[in-house]
Amino acid sequence: MLLVNRYKCGYCGACVGVCPAAALELVETWIEVNDDCISCGRCTKICPLGALELTKEAQA
């Protein structure tokens, strides 16, 4: 599962731009994740602040 640390997030929307499933949305100052997330991890790697994390269960 994708976790967003909203205390770290700079709400820039870079993650939304790379999401291949269109599962993310930037709403003012937070990121929303919907059920379409495929846990690909693309967003976690490009987040400039490292605010996104995939939990291990979902990666397996």
Partner 1 sequence: MKCDLVVVGAGPAGSMTAKVAAEAGLNVVMLEKRQEIGDPVRCAEGVSKAALRELVEPDPVWVSAEVKGARIRAPDGTEIVISEDRAGAEVGYVLERKVFDRALALDAAEAGAKVMVKTRALGLLEEGGVLTGVSAQFVGESLKIEAPLVIGADGVESKVGRWAGIDTALKPKDIETCAQFLLLDEGIDDEYCEFYLGNEIAPGGYVWSFPKGQSIANVGIGVLGSKANSGTPVMLLREFVKKRFPEGKILEMMVGGVPVSGPIETTTADGIILVGDAARQSDPITGGGIINAMRAGVLAGDIAAELVPKGEVDKTSLQVYEKRWRETIGKSIARNFAVKEFFVDLTDDDLNRLTHSLDGIDIAQLDLRGLLKVLVRQNPKLLLKLRHLIV
Give the residue, chosen from 3, 22, 38, 58, that forms a contact with partner 1 under the rule CB under 8 A. 22
53 contacts partner 1 (rule: CB under 8 A): yes
Question: d(Cα 18, Cα 28) in Å, to the nearest integer?
Answer: 18
Percent helix, strand and coil across the chain, each rounded to 5? Answer: 25, 25, 55
23 contacts partner 1 (rule: CB under 8 A): no
20 contacts partner 1 (rule: CB under 8 A): yes
The pair of structure tokens assigned to 41 is 């991890």
- Residue ranges that bind partner 1, judged by CB under 8 A: 10-20, 22, 24-28, 42, 44-53
